Amino acid sequence: MGRVTFLGRVFDGTRTEAFTIGGGLRGAGLVGIAVFFACLFGIYTRPVDFLATVWPANAVMLGLLLRMPRPVSPWVWVAGTAGFLAADFLTGSTVFKALLLSGANLAGIAGAYFVLHRVPIRAIQLRTPDSTLVLVLAIAAGSFLAGLVGAVANPLLFGGSAMGGWTFWFVTEFANYVAILPVVLTASLPLSRFRHWPARPVRYAAPAVALALSCLAAVTIGGPGAVAFPVPALLWGALIYPRFVTALLTLIFSFWTLLALSAGYLPDTIDLANERDLISIRLGMSLIALAPIMLASVMTRQAELLYRLRHLAAHDQLSGLFNRMAFRDAAEIRLKDVRDQGAPVALLMIDIDHFKAINDGYGHAAGDAVIAAVAGRAAACLRPLDVIGRIGGEEFAILLPDCTRSQALAIAERIRQVVAEAPVTTRRGKPLDITISVGLACSGDGLIDLDALLHEADGALYSAKTLGRNRAETSKEADKRRGGQE
């Protein structure tokens, strides 16, 4: 009942993503190392004497900063700066060039971080419909500041104009952030959620295969429209895959397009010698990449809303347990497994003793507190495979698969003791001593049907009430069938 499949996407509202990474010196060291190697990648893949075609370092550092506890330690910024400078010095840059380029990188990161660190974590995780807008505004702010430094660096380092430097720097930074930052923000290590993907791999591999085929078609056909061929496959993937996989496919598309253009694999697409064409294609690619990211964010939000609706429909709001209908559905699923395996099964019926007196004497708020306390204490005594639900006002049912009569009695006794050993404190601070009565039925008595188990357990519960309450009993009918034998 806890998992929802929505347009092929599996969402489990009971799991939360591990979003932060450690801060302090350890976190600073991680940032410095990541920035250093990301810089080397960008440097060794860039054209001679010009900016990198792909520059992941800025997006990597910004993403790691956003995944750290706030506020970020100054040592993290120091380590990031050291990573930039170390990579430049290692690859032969002069001190002036290294300082100027690193200044541009850090200015862009600081500008984007200034915007993003003020927004809720859910927006940074791209889990809300407006996440993409917030991300674009932050990226634009960072790219603008980096472009200002580029306006100074371009005439000094490359002999170009200040305006040309700002434009090219802005677009390049924007394109790299859009492609890389969503991957860093949505990555989850370990990626445990993929263990729960539906068992239809062909269907879930189809969008990725379609993306590969569309890229092949773009190379084969060429022309100005070739870069748009993969768009339907990317949107298809956003409907099927979680945010991280969608962001990863978008990153692959962006990198493939840039590298394919640089290597001439997309014939008759643009004139690489024309700076205006190059700026246009990079900006256009960035806007294309935003579409699947935005769609994935919307789909995540819809999946969460659907999960909440399903959860509200299946759970009792006061106790947090399955309601009567959901309990029956879950119990029937467990019983089917029991029948297939030939395993024993038991069912407990629990009733809170003198509950009407609690409501009459202390008010319904006190009664609500008692119900919530009993539900929590009973659930804490169970195994993951057991099914518990609130099936009436003060009545609970528990299905115990793969459980013998003696084991079920031990569980019932444990629940009874846990409930009785500590009073429940009401909102007025009044402690209430509460007890429960428990009735037991099990498949060893010849019962395997849910309704039969419920009926038998209800009879046993009546016996427990009749014999003085605060006890666990089996019914007289079950004892007769066993002939007094265990």
Residue 317 placed within a domain: no
| Radius of gyration of the chain, Cα coordinates, nearest whole angstrom | 31
Residue at which a domain ends, from 311, 340, 368: 311
Pair 307, 330 in one domain: no
pTM of the model: 0.72
Pair 150, 63 in one domain: yes
CA 404, CA 380: separation in Å to the nearest integer?
A: 20
Residue 82 — φ and ψ, nearest 5°?
A: -65, -40
- Count: domains in the chain: 2
Residue 319 placed within a domain: no
pLDDT in tens, the chain (486 residues): 444 433 444 444 444 444 556 657 788 899 999 999 999 998 887 754 455 567 899 999 999 999 887 778 889 999 999 999 999 999 888 999 999 999 999 999 999 999 998 888 888 888 888 888 899 999 999 999 999 998 998 888 878 889 988 888 898 899 899 999 999 999 875 444 444 455 566 778 899 999 999 989 888 887 778 888 999 999 999 998 889 999 999 999 888 887 777 667 766 666 656 667 777 777 888 888 899 999 999 888 888 888 889 888 899 989 999 999 999 999 999 998 888 888 899 999 999 999 999 988 889 899 999 999 999 999 999 999 999 999 988 999 999 999 999 999 999 999 999 999 989 987 777 889 999 999 999 886 556 789 999 999 999 999 999 999 999 998 665 555 555 444
Pair 265, 301 in one domain: yes
Residue 385 placed within a domain: yes
Residue 392 placed within a domain: yes
Residue 318 placed within a domain: no
Pair 348, 219 in one domain: no
Pair 253, 401 in one domain: no
Residue at which a domain ends, from 289, 311, 333: 311
CA 416, CA 428: separation in Å to the nearest integer?
A: 25
Helix (H, G, I), strand (E, B) or coil at 383: coil
Pair 185, 122 in one domain: yes
Handedness of CA 117, 122, 125, 127 (dihedral sign): negative
- b/e for 104-132, b at 16 or more Cβ within 10 A? bbbbbbbbbbebbbebeeebbbbbbeebb
Residue 189 placed within a domain: yes
- List own/partner pairs for 458-467 with CB under 8 A and 24 or more apart: 458/349, 460/349, 461/349, 461/350, 461/351, 461/437, 463/439, 464/437, 464/438, 464/439, 465/351, 465/353, 465/437
Pair 263, 400 in one domain: no
Pair 292, 348 in one domain: no
Residue 95 placed within a domain: yes
Domain hosting 370: range is 324-482
Pair 454, 429 in one domain: yes
Neighbours of 343 (CB within 10 A): 13
Residue at which a domain ends, from 258, 283, 311: 311
Pair 71, 205 in one domain: yes
Pair 303, 367 in one domain: no
Residue 316 placed within a domain: no
Pair 304, 343 in one domain: no
